[in-house]
């Protein structure tokens, strides 16, 4: 009799867990679908704004007219303004947001701390210092047109390598890594401020504009570069997503389940 009761209880528990999981997946699908539709709506509103105004419906008609010619009533200048100027900026903003969201989720996952971000880990400050050196002093590891971007990228790797080193060789806790990142943020910011003080007015203006960010120069070639990075990185991160989820339970738990925590952190 006891065995029958245990079997029934186990069956009920499994069915409850299965039902709860289905509800969880349903909520996830709903929220993802809702925010995709909201993003499409906001993109249309954003494209419609500007010196030459269009309605949101005219924006969508202009976009669809590219794929179904002569099927929609499109304003005269709309194709030029929408396709050559505005839509590239909006798509660049969406792609940048996707990339930053993924990077933030990965950082918070591997460090098990919601405070983890490029700003608290010193990565943004390192990139800012690299850009300031390139703009103000013309100093960099990469020449030509890649001087600014290459410098920012290489300097952003400095805090990344420091954090990986703390994790691998000093067995630092996530809290220690974030504190180290904050310390590096102040160091890089201090050096950047010193460069700003001795820079020319025009160079300082360029640095401020770069630090604030702008989508005004977005082109289709820029979009292809950003898209390529996301296409390469996103499948790899999805492939490692289960490892990342397990690591949130703690390093010891992850190791007991066969995950190489140090290697996964370096990979991420």
Structure tokens at 134: 């390139």
Both 223 and 106 in one domain: the answer is: yes
- Burial class of residue 230 (count of CB atoms within 10 Å of its CB; 0-12, 13-18, 19+): middle
**Could you tell me if residue 2 is inside a domain?**
no
- As given in the structure block, the two tokens for residue 21 are 């999981």
pLDDT for 34:
95
Tokens matching residue 200:
């020319």
Residue 88 lies in a domain: yes
DSSP 3-state of 214 = coil
Same domain, 48 and 134: no
Q: Tell me, what's the pLDDT at 39?
A: 92
With a cut of 70, which residues of the chain have pLDDT below it?
1-12, 142-145
Same domain, 258 and 143: no
- Domain membership of residue 155 (yes or no) is yes
pTM for the predicted model, two decimal places: 0.79
One-character DSSP codes across 146-194: GHHHHHHHHHHHHHHHHHHHHHHHS---HHHHHHHHHHHHHHHHHHHHH
What value, to the nearest 5°, has the Cα angle with vertex 200 and ends 182 and 145?
Answer: 75
Domain count, the chain: 2
pLDDT, residue 4, reads 46
**187 and 200 fall within a common domain:** yes
Q: Quick check: is 37 in a domain?
A: yes
User: Could you tell me if residue 5 is inside a domain?
Assistant: no
CB-based contacts of 54: which residues, under 8 Å, 6+ apart? 47, 48, 62, 75, 78, 81, 82
Q: What pLDDT is stored for residue 224 in this prediction? A: 86
Query: Residue 212: which of 204, 200, 202 has the closest Cα?
Result: 204
48 and 27, same domain (yes or no): yes
Domain of residue 164 covers: 119-217
Token pair recorded at residue 17: 């867990």
Q: What DSSP letter does each residue of 48-113 carry, written as one string? A: H-SSS---HHHHHHHHHHHHSTTSS---SSHHHHIIIIIHHHHHHHHHHHHHHHHHHHHHHHHHT-
Instruction: Give how far Cα 175 sits from Cα of 86, 115, 123, 167, 246, Å.
Output: 42, 10, 16, 11, 18
Q: Which residues contact 21 (CB under 8 A, 6 or more apart)?
A: none
């Amino acid at each position: 009799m006891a065995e029958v009761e245990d079997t029934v209880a186990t069956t009920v528990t499994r069915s409850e867990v299965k039902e709860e999981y289905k509800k969880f997946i349903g909520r996830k699908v709903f929220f993802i679908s809702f925010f995709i539709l909201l993003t499409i709506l906001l993109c249309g509103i954003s494209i419609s704004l500007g010196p030459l105004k269009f309605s949101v419906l005219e924006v969508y008609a202009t976009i669809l007219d590219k794929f179904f010619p002569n099927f929609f009533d499109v304003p005269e200048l709309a194709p030029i303004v929408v396709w050559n100027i505005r839509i590239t900026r909006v798509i660049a903003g969406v792609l940048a947001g996707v990339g930053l969201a993924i990077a933030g989720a990965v950082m918070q996952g591997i460090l098990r701390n919601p405070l983890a971000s490029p700003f608290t880990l010193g990565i943004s400050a390192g990139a800012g210092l690299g850009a300031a050196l390139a703009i103000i002093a013309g100093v960099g590891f990469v020449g030509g047109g890649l001087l600014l971007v290459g410098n920012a990228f290489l300097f952003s790797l400095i805090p990344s390598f420091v954090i990986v080193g703390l994790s691998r060789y000093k067995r630092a806790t996530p809290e220690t890594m974030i504190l180290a990142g904050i310390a590096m943020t102040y160091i890089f910011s201090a050096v950047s401020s010193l460069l700003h003080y001795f820079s020319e007015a025009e160079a300082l203006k360029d640095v401020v504009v770069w630090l604030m960010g702008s989508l005004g120069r977005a082109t289709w070639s820029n979009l292809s570069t950003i898209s390529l990075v996301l296409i390469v990185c996103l499948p790899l991160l999805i492939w490692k997503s289960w490892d990342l989820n397990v690591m949130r339970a703690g390093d010891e738990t992850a190791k007991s389940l066969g995950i190489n925590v140090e290697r996964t952190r370096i990979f991420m």
